[in-house]
Structure 1
Amino acid sequence: MADEMVPMAGVVLDAADPKALGKFYRRLLGWEMVESDDNWVQLRGPDGSSKLSFQREPRHRAPLWPSEVEGQQMQVHLDFEVADLEAAQQKALDAGATLMDWQPQKEGVRVMADPAGHIFCLFLPGW
């Protein structure tokens, strides 16, 4: 197995409250919650090949957007392709996301933050 490349199965995000963050992404994505306790939550995509997990990190700090030299730096962000940007943005807001003030692309992309402050982007096909 050491010489084989295996497909990435998922992403894990730190959060002070993994259950709350898991519930947010379940509302946003509609994915099934397959594991949930006080320290670990895992969602599985509809075809079972993608997973998004959340682990307890009591000292989690949200990154600054846009980044600043002295502030918490973003290490990863999630991208979600959507068919209707305005509808997806409203769904994210209704689920508890925040629309970020700084939007580097004016059309086709929205930069948002989940309730724990992790940055994610909604984008139209072709962006």
Structure 2
Amino acid sequence: MPLQMKLSAITLDCPDPLALAAFYQQATGLELHPKSDAEFAGLTCENGLFIGFQRVHGYRAPSWPGQTAPQQLHVCFDVDEDLDKAEARLLELGAGRPDHQPHEAARARVLTDPAGHPFCIVRS
């Protein structure tokens, strides 16, 4: 019988935890954890999931779609609004849009956060 485990946290390496937490906070509306600081910051989801951001000195951003610096983690977010509007807002917040888009544009988009981590927005 497998263990009954519940995902409780996801942590991303980055050069500036507070800046990356601010990007995801503005993008998702999640609350900044009160003990966040320059070395480790986090956001708390209503369902108890914690998204953490930890400082790594000498951080190298993942490459997309290449693997010279592997992405190691890929996060997807459902969006209720039009993908064009969601993408435009995320770009305003500091996201990037790689040229390589493996999905049909009407269904999903690959963006990168300010630290270079790729993530998808998917029409829910």
Alignment TM-score, normalising by the size of structure 2: 0.90
Q: Distance in 2 between matches of 1:55 and 1:5?
A: 27
Alignment of 1:53-72 (within 5 A): 53-68=52-67, 71-72=68-69
Corresponding residue of 1:104 = 102
Q: Deviations over 1:29-84 (max 9, x none)?
A: 11000131111101011x2422111011012111111124xx11110111001122
Corresponding residue of 2:80 = 83
Corresponding residue of 2:41 = 41
Unaligned runs of 5+ in 1: none
% identical aligned pairs:
35
Runs of 4+ in 1 over 2 A off after TM superposition: 3-6
Match of 2:70 among 62, 73, 77: 73
Q: Distance in 2 between matches of 1:117 and 1:22?
A: 13
Alignment TM-score, normalising by the size of structure 1: 0.88
